[in-house]
Structures are given as structure tokens and as C-alpha cells.
Structure 1
Amino acid sequence: MLMTHLRPTLLLGLLVTTGCDKAADLRNDAVTAQNDANTEIANTRSDAKQDVLDAQAEADKKIAAAQADFTKMREEYRHNTTVKLAALDLKIATLDARAKKTTGAAKVELDAKVKRIQEQRERFLTEYKELDQATGTTWDNTRAGLDRSWDELSRLVENA
């Protein structure tokens, strides 16, 4: 009789133990899958961060190159303008010397022209100083204004 009661109990114990092993295996599989997923997420985040850093570094290089190109262009323009202004200043000095030697109505006319030239030269120099503050976005307008002012100054000197 003991055997008859013992058999079902053993069978039940065996089934429970087998079921527990299966549940433990499933839990271990779930933990492993979660750990694998967490590792994959961490790797993806790391890759994404590196991609962002690489893109930022590339953008920084391009910005630095563009700024260097802009600075070089502005300095070349400033140098060329300074050279042209020095040559024009010689012509203005010649006109001024001629005005001092001239007499009568010709002197009055030449003095008036020299005065207009000097006024235009001052306007030009004011605009010329704005080159230092010109940015990439304001460069075209600043340069166009300076070119117009230069053209007017040159025209006045040539017509004097």
C-alpha cells in the first residue's frame, strides 16, 4: 500500500521538478535574450555617438576651411584696394598741388573739385573700415558698397 501512495507522489515530484527545470531554462533564456538586447543597444548607442562625433569633426573642418578662405579673400581685397588707394592718393596730391599753383576761376573750380574728391575719399575710407566687420553673410553687400564708392572716387579724380 505504501507503494501505491508513493508512486503517484514520486510521479508528481518528478513532473514538478521537470516543470521547474523547464521554467528555469525559459527564465535563463529570457535573461540571456535581455542581456544580448542590452548589449546590442549599448553598441548601437556607441556607434551613433561616434557617428555624431565624426560628423561634427568633419563639419568643423569644413567651417574652418571656409573661414580661412573668406579671411584670405578679404585680405587680398583689402590689399588690392590699399594699393589702388595709394596710387589714387598720388593723383589727388598732384591735383592739390596744381590747385595751389592755379589762380583765378580755374583755381576756384579746381579747389571745388579737390574738396569733392576729399569728401568722397573720406566716405570711401569709412566704408573701407567696415571690411573688418564684414562677415560671410554681409560681405557681398559691404564689398558692393565699397566698389561703388571707389568707382565714384576714381571718376571724380579722373574728371578733375
Structure 2
Amino acid sequence: MFRFLAPALLVLGLAGTSPAFAQISPATGPDPELSPGDVVRAQLAGFRADSDAGIAQAFAFASPRNRSVTGPVQRFSKMIRAGYGELLGHRSASLAELRQDEAHTYQGVEITAADGRTHLYVFILSRYDLPNCDNCWMTDGVAKRPANPDAQSL
């Protein structure tokens, strides 16, 4: 889920963010009824829990391609703790307006970490057909945005 994406992949501002995180999704795995925002909110809820079960919840929404790079869940957990620790136990998250192209949907997220610092991310999602879930949104990757507010791309 958190594979590195090329710096020039995407330009996505967080203008128009809203406190959408207040509506935490109870979803624990892919479901065709979930929107891209629902999937991101469910993953954020797992990360916010800062537990093995919460990280496993986030991993449940990783796409098959993503899992082949980041899995199994134990390796995913180590990767999150080492490189994306600010997601764990975060205070709040605000979602930007969704952006789309022909192949993906992009969800900008502004996180306020447990230490009060702000971090910007982009979740990259696609639809997948799984044995128990046709046309489900899943996360292909997550990229950190630069801390520099003048930066225009990932």
C-alpha cells in the first residue's frame, strides 16, 4: 500500500478539506458498497487505533498488486511503523476532494499526528474484482506529500 511513487506522478492540493474523518467507517474489508473515501476512512480508522488489529484492517484494503509488494501483514506492519509512524494514533484527518483519471482515484489526506504536526498524503485507489467482492475500491499505494507548502507535486 505504501510503495514509493515517482515525484512527478500527481499534483493534488488539499484546498477544500473537510473534517470528513469524523464519520469513521466501520468497514473492516473491501465491499462493493464502499466509495473511495469510505475505503480511505476505514484505513485511517485502523491506523488511528495504533494496534496490530488496526494495521491489519488497513492492510485488508490493500490491492492485490499492492499486497505483492508490501505483504504479508507482518511486513506491512513493520513498514508502517518504520516509515509512516505519524499515521499511527493520529489526532485527526481531513479528506480533500477526490481527483480521478482514467485508471485511478486520488484522495488527498491531511493528518494531524499525535505530536501535533501536520502531514500530507495521497491515497491512490483503483477498482478490483475479487472472488467475494466485484468492483471494489482498493488502495494501490499511498504517497507522502512534501512538507514544503510551496511544492507543487509529489
TM (norm. structure 1) is 0.21
Structure with higher helix content: 1
Structure with higher strand content: 2
